Structures are given as C-alpha cells and as structure tokens.
Amino acid sequence: MLDVLKVRIYPNKEQEISLVKSFGCSRFVWNFYLNKTNAQYEETGKGMTYCQMAKDLTQLKKLADYEWLQEPTAAVLQQSLKNLESAFKNFFAKRTGFPKFKSKHSKQSIRFPESCSIKDGVLKLPKLGIVKASLSKSVDGKIKSVTVSKTSTDKYFAAILFEVGDLRNTKKGRISGIDLGLTSLITVFDGETCYKVDPIKPTRKYAKRLRIRQKALSRKVKGSNNRRKAVKVVAKVHEKISNTRQDFLHKLSRKLVDDNQVIVAENICVKGLARTKLARVIHDAGFGMLLNFISYKLDREGGKFVQVDRFFPSSKLCSCCGHKNDLLNLSIREWVCSSCQTTHDRDENASRNLRAEGIRILSTNTVGHTEIQACGETVRLVGTCTKKRVSQMQESPATPLCG
C-alpha cells in the first residue's frame, strides 16, 4: 500500500529560482492545452488525449518562442498533462467541476514522478539536487513521486508518496458512535460512557486580527509593493487559522482512532449544509476534514469506519425503546420519550443510535434505512450522491441499545 509524508523543505536561492521556473512552465502547459482542448472540442466535438498533448508538447518545445519550456525536467510537464487529462475524466464522471485556468497568484505545485530519493535526512530532486528538509519520520519504502508546493506565504512543502508493507488487521478497541454538531463538535458514545468535545472556532478566535489586516490591505494602492506586502500579511492570518484547525482535528482524530477499532458516523452532506445561513460556522468546524482524517487513519491501522445514511433519524429515535419523535426540531436539545418516559439529550441520543445502526450494518453487511418507510420512495444511498434510486423492499428496523 501507499503512504504520504508531507514535510517542509528549505531550498536555497538557486533552487528557488529553478522551482519558480518549473511552477511557471507547468502552469503554462496546463493553461495552454486546456485552451487548445476547449478550442478543438468546439470545432470537432472531441478533445485531446494525453498522448496527443504530449506529442504536441514535444514539437512545441522545439519552437524558438518556447525554448524556455526545456528548462524544467520533461517529466514535470508531462505530469501536468496527465493531471489535466484526469481533471477532464473527473468532470465527465461528474465527480468535480470543469477544469479551470491556473493563476500565478494562487498556490503553486509541481510533481516529480521519478528519480527522487532520500539519503542521510535530505531530499534529492531532479535538476534541484539536494534540498534541505525537515523529516519527521524515516521513509523506508520506495518513493513513487514527490509533489513540491509553494504557499501564498512563500513556504515550500514536499509531499512524498512511498510504498509501505500491507498492514494486518490486528487493531483492537471499542465501537463508538459519533454525532457531529455545532454546539458540541462531536458527541461520542463507546457503549459505556458518553462525552462531548467542544469546537475551537479558529475563525472567530482570529477574527479581530484578520479584520485589522484586511482594513490595512484595502487602503493600499493596487499594484504597489506595499499592497503585495499587505496581501502576504493577510495570507499569514488565514494560514494561522487553517493550521490551528488542522492541528486540532488531527489530534482529535488521533485520539478517537487510538481508542476505537470501529467508528460510526453519519454521512452528512457538507456542501448542502454550506448553502444554509450556518455556512460560516459549518466551514469553521471542519466536519468533512474530521471525517476524512478518521477514515484514512483507521484504514492505516486496520480499523473500520462506518458511515450511516444521512436520512437515518438518529436524533428522533429513542435509544431505549425505538419510538420515533416526529415533532422534534433543531431548537429542541432535550426531549422526553412519550413511550418509555426516558429523558434524552439530543446529541447523546443520536450518538447511541448511530452506534446501534453501525453495529447492525456490520452484522448484516448491508446499508439500510432503519425505521424509515422507504418502500416506493426515492432515497439516496451512501456513495451515490449523483444518482437516485427507488427502494424495492421494506427495510428491517434496528434493535435499539439501551444505555
């Protein structure tokens, strides 16, 4: 299997110049052939394949006006064409939007698909030589590729993709259900205890600092050196917010993965929630990022990550008797079951129901909609967000867990 290690690198002046040229050439190749593919599609109804673009690029570099394309290694430019072809395939498969033209003012990146190595704690890259790097751990497997990126704050990073041995499924731990929310970021129930973790809200924490920097930026003359400096200052605040959020979510996901063998969560639609009036808070919480961190860390350690369908009424079901409260709305945080008279905390009850549904899914190896009258209704299943299917059979109810 493959693993990735992202490290910060410190190129010298000559290496920085070489990287800037490689960034520019890679960006030019992407934009040039994106425009050429669009023009050819409008004329003939067919775009360009990678082989056609690579063949045309070879002839393009021989022209006098484009000799500067020969400065970076050829594999970097070819990788840019492969990325463009993948972008078109993802677009036609409805996995993402149409490919966009790249700007020199945004994040820059290139990929070295070969001839990369690590020796004595330093990174060696084609045409750059030895580059100083901060390696947090050793890379023992074969290096498949290295992606070098430059942030808007002029920091350089290298994402090293390398091979590692297959992990055995020897992880042991509990089965926990986690409910995501805004008041409490997650509510965790592991079968015995239930606890909550509050969000850190980094955007609100650095809102005053960001507002001051943005006001200073708005007073600068466009195109001036002072404006370019002010842009970098604002970018540093945004980077601080992003790093704070990622650090917190990495530590939280690590704790959850260390304590559990199976984690059950709801397959929420983050894009849909981001279109509501709570969009700012949703993005600041980082729901999608947290679920992604939990998923890949569990995969690495042989655990399992189960996602329950977003239409499963985890908050409305009583975790003791299974009674469904259809009158429950978002403003009600505590409610009493009319059937068994049990008082429920909304988030804790949801985490209990999610855990129970996750256990049912694992035991039956199916994905269903517990206690939803899905017969004949149009419902969306996990992993089929772009298509809708009609259920042909009644789903069986779950066995509730009392806690």
Per-residue pLDDT tens digits of the chain, which is 403 residues long: 788 889 999 999 999 999 999 999 999 999 999 999 999 999 988 889 999 999 999 999 999 999 999 999 999 999 999 999 999 999 999 888 999 999 988 889 999 998 899 887 789 999 899 999 888 888 888 899 999 999 988 899 999 998 887 766 666 778 899 999 888 899 999 888 899 999 999 999 999 999 999 999 999 999 899 999 999 999 999 999 999 999 999 999 999 999 898 999 988 888 888 888 888 888 899 999 999 999 989 888 888 899 998 888 888 888 888 888 888 887 888 888 888 888 888 888 889 889 888 888 888 865 443 333 333 333 343 343 444 333 333 333 444 444 4
- DSSP 8-state assignment for residue 27: H
Q: Rounded CA gap, 177 and 354, in Å?
A: 5
Spell out a b/e string for 372-382, using b for 16 or more CB atoms within 10 Å of the CB, else e.
Answer: bebeeeeebbe
What are the phi and psi torsion angles at 10 (to 5°)? -130, 80
Across 93-241, the runs of DSSP E, i.e. the strands, are 108-112, 117-119, 122-125, 129-134, 143-150, 156-163, 174-180, 186-189, 194-197
Q: Rounded CA gap, 33 and 211, in Å?
A: 40
Q: Which residues are catalytic?
A: 179, 266, 347
